[in-house]
Amino acid sequence: MMEGRTTNRFNMQYDNIVFNAIYLSLQQEIKGITANAIIINNMKASTNNQTIPINLPTAGLIVIKDNKLLLAFSKNKKAWYLPGGKVDAGETSIQSLQREIREELNIELKTELLTFYCHIKAAAYGEPDNVIMTQDCFLYELHEQIEASNEIEAVAYFSYKNYLQEAAVVGGVVEVFENLIRDCILQ
């Protein structure tokens, strides 16, 4: 009889050890799955031949002068786009826009002169096909002098017609032009 109790006690201890080992193994597996999900979310991933979309939040500046839209030519992407850029973790769209405009055009934006205009969603130019750019666009009445930084090759004002004749046409910029024309801000 004593033998049975010892065996049972031993079996219970053994079962607890096995249970704890399985439990710890599952925890590690779950952590690994979570870590992999984060990695996959931040890069191009395919499942069953379908690409997982990746959201790229950005903020863009809309400046109108003489019925034309201000655009900046990126040395890296070789295209004209709205001044602005990616929203970093912990930033609001306005904070991001202020930082990006300071970096690109050496201008300190006055927040009281920024007016939210629209939110657009388009394929992110120069990125993999699954990267979708979402952009909060703000109207701004520019009085400051523009001094393009090293990453900006040029700045210029474009009519919609002239922009469409460029070698590289960015979908998000086209959407902004179309919104501005629809709302009679541009003709």
Structure tokens at 50: 């379908």
pLDDT digits (tens, 9 = 90+) for 137-170: 999 999 888 999 988 999 999 999 999 999 999 9
In the chain, pLDDT over 90 holds for what percent of residues? 63
How many other CB atoms sit within 10 Å of the CB of residue 84? 25
Contact by Cβ (8 Å): 122, 33: no
pLDDT digits (tens, 9 = 90+) for 8-19: 544 444 444 444
Kindly report the CATH number assigned to the domain that includes residue 70. 3.90.79.10
How many other CB atoms sit within 10 Å of the CB of residue 100? 22
144 shares a domain with 91? yes
155 shares a domain with 87? yes
Q: What is residue 38's predicted lDDT score, i.e. its pLDDT?
A: 42
More confident residue, 38 or 106: 106
150 shares a domain with 103? yes
Per DSSP bridges, beta strands 84-86 and 46-47 are: unpaired
Structure tokens at 7: 């065996």
Residue 50's DSSP bridge partners are 47
pLDDT digits (tens, 9 = 90+) for 165-178: 999 999 999 999 99
Rounded Cα distance, 81 and 56, in Å: 15
Q: What is residue 74's predicted lDDT score, i.e. its pLDDT?
A: 85
Q: Is the pLDDT of residue 45 over 80?
A: no
b/e 130-159 (16+ beta carbons within 10 angstroms → b): bbebbbbbbbbebeeebebeeebeebeebe
Q: Which position has the token pair 């050890």? A: 17
Query: 146: closest CA among 104, 91, 88?
Result: 104
Q: Is the pLDDT of residue 27 over 70?
A: no
62 shares a domain with 2? no
Q: What is residue 49's predicted lDDT score, i.e. its pLDDT?
A: 59
Give the amino acid at 24: L
Domain around 128: 53-182
pLDDT digits (tens, 9 = 90+) for 52-95: 889 999 999 999 999 999 999 988 878 999 999 999 999 999 99
